[in-house]
Structure formats: structure tokens, C-alpha cells
A and B are shown apart, each in its own frame.
Chain A
Amino acid sequence: MIVELTYLELLVAAVTVFVLAIFLGFEIISKVPPTLHTPLMSGANAISGIAVVGALLLSNVALVDGNAPLAAKLAVVALVLATINVVGGFLVTNRMLQMIAGRGRK
């Protein structure tokens, strides 16, 4: 038996996930020591580069005579920005954390 979900059901499920994820976000990072404020922020920022997923999906367009439609061009710009955000964000967070944790000794 194949059950087809209607769009409305999908939407309600997505809204449910959205609301629960916000509460989860508040719960898991309620107390953060100040030493970690910057790394937490830049780490979280790298995660917000998750738009890379959408950018990849929309960049999958074949070139015609070396050219792509405007939508695909914008998607590639998004892909570059999101990848900078992700790669740069995680690397710089790692650098900071190494500095903070790695040099605890005197």
C-alpha cells in the first residue's frame, strides 16, 4: 500500500520540526562559559552554511554553450558563499579551540 502525503501534511510536519528544533536549540546551549562564546558563535555560524544543500540541488544544471540560466548562476554564487561559510567557519573555530584548549598549561 502506498501512502501519499498531501502537501499540507508535509507542511505541518515541517512546521513541527521547526518549532521543536528551536526549543531544542534553546535547551542544549542554555549555559555557555564566556571562553566559548566566540567559538560557539563561529561554529554555529558554520552550521548555518547548511544552505549549501539547497545551492547544490539548484546548481545541477547542464551548461549550454558554456552558459547557464540566471537561476543556476545565482545558485552557484550561493554555493560559493555557503562553502566559504562552512569551510572557513569550521576551520577558524578549530583554530580558536586548539588555542584555548591546547594551551591550558603554562
Chain B
Amino acid sequence: MDSAVWDLGYLAAALLFILGLKKLGHPRTAPTGNLYGASGMLLAVIVTLARIESETGIIGWELIVGGLAVGTLIGAWMALRVEMTGMPEMVALFNGFGGGASALVALSEVLSRLDEGNIPEGIPLYATWIAIGLSGLVGWITLSGSLVAMMKLKGGFSLPGGKWVRFPTWGPPWLNTVKVLLLFACLGFIWLSIQEPTNEQWIYGLIACATLLGVLFVLPIGGADMPVVVSLLNSLSGIAAAFTGFVLMNNVLIIAGSMVGAAGLILTFIMCKAMNRELRDVLFKAFGGGSDRETVTRTKVGSDPDEVAMLCDGIAKCIIVPGYGMAVSQCQHQVREFAEILEGRDCEVKYGIHPVAGRMPGHMNVLLAEANVPYEQLVELENINSEFTETDVVLVVGANDTVNPAARSDEGPLAGMPILDVDKARVVVMVKRSLSVGYAGVDNDLFYEDSTMMLFGDGKEMMMRLVQAMQEL
């Protein structure tokens, strides 16, 4: 049969992807959008199998069925088992798998071309080998970078024998030079592989350099910059697929890949904007103090949950501001219980969500949704900031930099970052382990305000005691 038929099938799949992505951007249509995407993928797989059957016949049953079955089982098992708190790690891991798959397809194509002696000349050689090189470059960076990101999000990894190793965040300034050199080495290997296409050593050199580059690229980035990295890796996994599309001259890969690339890039820029940082700075400049962090010199007397519970009695409006600390201590359920008690006493409760709170885009929304918080109560930064002046109590759970008034000044790492104006409320209650600085390394004046009450301790324990105190009231 004519290959045009298959291309039309792929076009239908690409349309489903486009509609799916569009629908994923609106709350009401998002589940349909996801379904469209999945249908598009199923269609692409079916078309491909039909194409193989009609062109050469399916001769590799064992490999194809085996690969699909193993992948489906592992994928489904992981997706159904994962806790919502483990979501950032899994998104990072899947990004890596996507990039790795694209890179391996490109590598497999080179090797099978070499086996068959099917090496083009002239423009096709340049185009194909550049595509193979770029797909490998981006794909291996995505794979190794995502694995590092995943371990950073987990906090570390356990060695055989059960020893837990904290994953380091390390990046002296000279590392940037190494990264640039590695990038040039990668481009050099691509050029060499074009000059001598039969020598697969150049491709292996490229793989080694790109893998190392991916590790070094994510290694210095940590903490509050993680949402940027995770969405950037998401974008890269798409771009790798698009380059692989050029290797195979397949439009559906090019369309799907480049749209995912664009989507990831948009999210990356949203995240950067929410922190008032340039993407360039996130990638190449270590943020905040690092080792020379300002030590805490001022003191503040902590409050206890009973005091806070009494204060919360009879208030009319409360805004809860969650941060990464809520994710770490996994206290979203206690936070919701607290909110429900207040609501039962005719208090209006809302949640103020900073776009970069947490370790991936939308992290807080996912956690609170898991705890059954109605999503109408989750209010974005721009919309909630005007409401703080009329708020009786703001409860800040494990957030720091996103509520630091220092961001309003023109100096320091936080300068210009949009923050939640919690200090405008009548009383601020902060659940936090200590007075220590946040990721940006900037002392938070808010802690020391007279209107601020500190609840020192683990988020979960404190919220449990607070809920208990509220119930006993």
C-alpha cells in the first residue's frame, strides 16, 4: 500500500495531540484533553504496526510484543502506585525516559544503517547525521539530567546495603566553563561523525559527553529552582523526539515533539517570571548564599498551638499559604482539617498559591487536590494579594521566600520577585522548623514582626496539635 495512507494516519494522531494539548490547558476540558492525547498515541502505534505489517510483515513479534508488554506493565504499575507527594520525582523520571527513548531510537537507526551499509551522501548525509547527533545530544542530556533531578527531588539515594546518601548540590563557577567545553565537544563529535559516518566511535563519544553534560547541567541547581529545571527537561524531552523525527523523516514525531518542546518552554518561562529570574541565571548562576549563609542573630519567642487556636476563634477570614515545607512534612490533610474546622465556624477560608511554591510547577495544587481541597479555594498570587488587608489570620505552612517582604526592596537575590503580601494581614501564623533563611539565603523580617506568631516544629506535628487545640476549644 502507498505510504501516503500511513502519513494520513499519523496526521490524525498529530491532530489528536494538538487538540489534547489545547484541552489540557483548561480545567473543565483537561480530562478530555488527556484522553485525546492517549487516543492519538494509540492510533500512532496501531498505524505503525499496520505499516510494518504491510511493508515487510511483522517479523520481530517477540521483540515488539515483549517491549510493549513490559513497558505497559511497568508504566501502569508506577503510575497507579505513586503517591501524590512522590509526583515531582516521577515526572522527572518519565521526562528522562522520553528523552532516553528518543536518543536510543536515533542510535539504533545509526547502527542499523551501518549494518546495512546504507549511508547516504551529500545533503541527506548531512541532514540525517546532524539530526542523529542533535537527537542524541538532547536525548542523553535529558536522560542523565532527569535522573539527577529525580534523585535531587528525592533528596538522595540509598546505596546497596541500605545506606542513605544525600544528593549534593554542587557548582563552582568554573563548572560553567566545563559545560561549555563539553557542549563544543559534543558538536565536534557530530561534525566528526559526518566526516566519517562509518566510524561509530564518534557517536559513542557524543553519548559520553552529552551524558556528562546532563549531569553537570542539573548538579548545581537545587531548591526553589527545581520547578524551572523540571519543566525545562520536559521541554527537552519533546525536542529530542522532534529531532528523532528528522532522523526517521516522520512528521508525527516532529509535530508532537516540537509542541511538547514549546509547551515545556512556556511553563519554564512562567516559572522564571514567578521568581523574577532570567532562565540564564537559573542555569548558570548559583542562587543565594550557599555556604556563606547569614547566621540568625535575632531571636523570636515561639507560640504554642493553643494560643493560635484561641486567636482563630471567631475570625471571619483566613488565608492559608502552603510552601515546600508542607510537601516535605506531608501535612496537607491536617491543613485541610484545620480549614474545615474554621469553615464550620463560619470563617471564610482560601489558599494563596505562589506559582513556584514547591519543587515542580503546580506542586501545591496537586497536593491540596489530593487532600480533597476544592480547587475553587486555591487562589493565584495576582488575585489573592488584594485580599490580605481584610484577612484576620494568615497561616503560612512551610513557606519562606515566597512571603519574604525583602522581595519588595531593590536589593538582594529576592529583589523584584512577586510575593504573597501576607504581612498586610492582621495576624500571620508561621509554621516553620526554625528562623533559618530560605533557599534564597535572605533573612525574613516577617518572622520578627509583632503581628507574626511562630509555631516552631515539624509541619505535620504542629498542624496536628493545632487541629487538636481547635477541636478542644
* B10 to A, closest residue via Cβ: A53
CA distance A54 to B18 in the complex (A): 20
**Contact residues of A between 74 and 95, Cβ < 8 Å to B:** 74-95
Contact call B115/A71, Cβ cutoff below 8 A: yes
CA distance A104 to B372 in the complex (A): 8
* A52 to B, closest residue via Cβ: B45
What's the least CB distance linking B154 to chain A, in Å?
Answer: 17
Do A56 and B91 contact each other (CB < 8 Å), given the known contacts A17-B254, A25-B259, A47-B256? no
Residues of B whose CB lies within 8 Å of any CB of A are 10, 17-18, 20-22, 24-28, 30-31, 33-35, 37-38, 40-41, 44-45, 48-49, 51-52, 56, 58-60, 62-64, 66-68, 70-72, 74-76, 78-80, 82, 84, 87, 90-91, 94-95, 97-102, 104-105, 107-109, 111-112, 115, 120, 123-124, 127, 230-231, 234, 237-238, 240-242, 244-267, 270, 353, 355, 360-363, 365-366, 369-370, 372, 374-376, 378, 380
Listed A/B pairs (21) with beta-carbon separation below 8 Å: A7-B123, A25-B262, A28-B18, A30-B266, A33-B380, A39-B362, A44-B238, A47-B21, A49-B41, A51-B241, A53-B253, A54-B105, A58-B109, A75-B104, A79-B71, A84-B97, A91-B76, A92-B82, A93-B34, A94-B35, A104-B376
CA distance A86 to B24 in the complex (A): 16
Contact call A60/B59, Cβ cutoff below 8 A: yes
- Give chain B residues whose Cβ lies under 8 Å from the Cβ of A28: 18, 21-22, 25, 259
Q: How large is the interface on A (under 10, 10 to 19, 20 to 34, 35 or more residues)?
A: 35 or more
- Give chain B residues whose Cβ lies under 8 Å from the Cβ of A85: 75, 94, 97-98, 101
What's the least CB distance linking B132 to chain A, in Å?
Answer: 12
What's the least CB distance linking A47 to chain B, in Å?
Answer: 5
- Give chain A residues whose Cβ lies under 8 Å from the Cβ of B97: 49, 81-82, 84-85
CA distance A98 to B79 in the complex (A): 14
| A22 at the binding interface (Cβ < 8 Å) | yes
* A99 to B, closest residue via Cβ: B369
Do A51 and B34 contact each other (CB < 8 Å), given the known contacts A41-B267, A61-B59, A81-B100? no
CA distance A69 to B111 in the complex (A): 9
B237 contacts which of A10, A22, A48 (Cβ < 8 Å)? A48
Do A88 and B94 contact each other (CB < 8 Å), given the known contacts A8-B123, A25-B260? yes
- Give chain A residues whose Cβ lies under 8 Å from the Cβ of B247: 54
Contact call A72/B105, Cβ cutoff below 8 A: no
Q: Which of B26, B58, B362 gathers the greatest number of chain A CB atoms within 10 Å?
A: B362
| A62 at the binding interface (Cβ < 8 Å) | yes
- Give chain B residues whose Cβ lies under 8 Å from the Cβ of A87: 71-72, 75-76, 79
Contact call A75/B246, Cβ cutoff below 8 A: no
- Give chain A residues whose Cβ lies under 8 Å from the Cβ of B369: 35, 96, 99-100, 103
B259 contacts which of A24, A37, A54, A89 (Cβ < 8 Å)? A24
Cβ-closest 4 pairs across A and B? A83-B71, A25-B262, A37-B362, A87-B75
- Give chain A residues whose Cβ lies under 8 Å from the Cβ of B355: 34, 37
CA distance A105 to B254 in the complex (A): 40
- Give chain B residues whose Cβ lies under 8 Å from the Cβ of A88: 74-76, 78-79, 90, 94
CA distance A78 to B22 in the complex (A): 28
Contact call A78/B105, Cβ cutoff below 8 A: yes
Do A31 and B112 contact each other (CB < 8 Å), given the known contacts A49-B97, A88-B79? no
- Give chain A residues whose Cβ lies under 8 Å from the Cβ of B56: 60
Contact call B63/A25, Cβ cutoff below 8 A: no
Contact call B30/A72, Cβ cutoff below 8 A: no
Contact call A78/B104, Cβ cutoff below 8 A: yes
Q: Which of B58, B108, B247, B380 gathers the greatest number of chain A CB atoms within 10 Å?
A: B108
CA distance A104 to B104 in the complex (A): 42
**Besides the contacts A33-B380, A72-B108, A75-B105, what 13 more A-B pairs have beta carbons closer than 8 Å?**
A24-B259, A25-B258, A26-B265, A32-B267, A34-B380, A37-B355, A39-B34, A50-B17, A51-B253, A55-B104, A56-B64, A60-B58, A83-B71
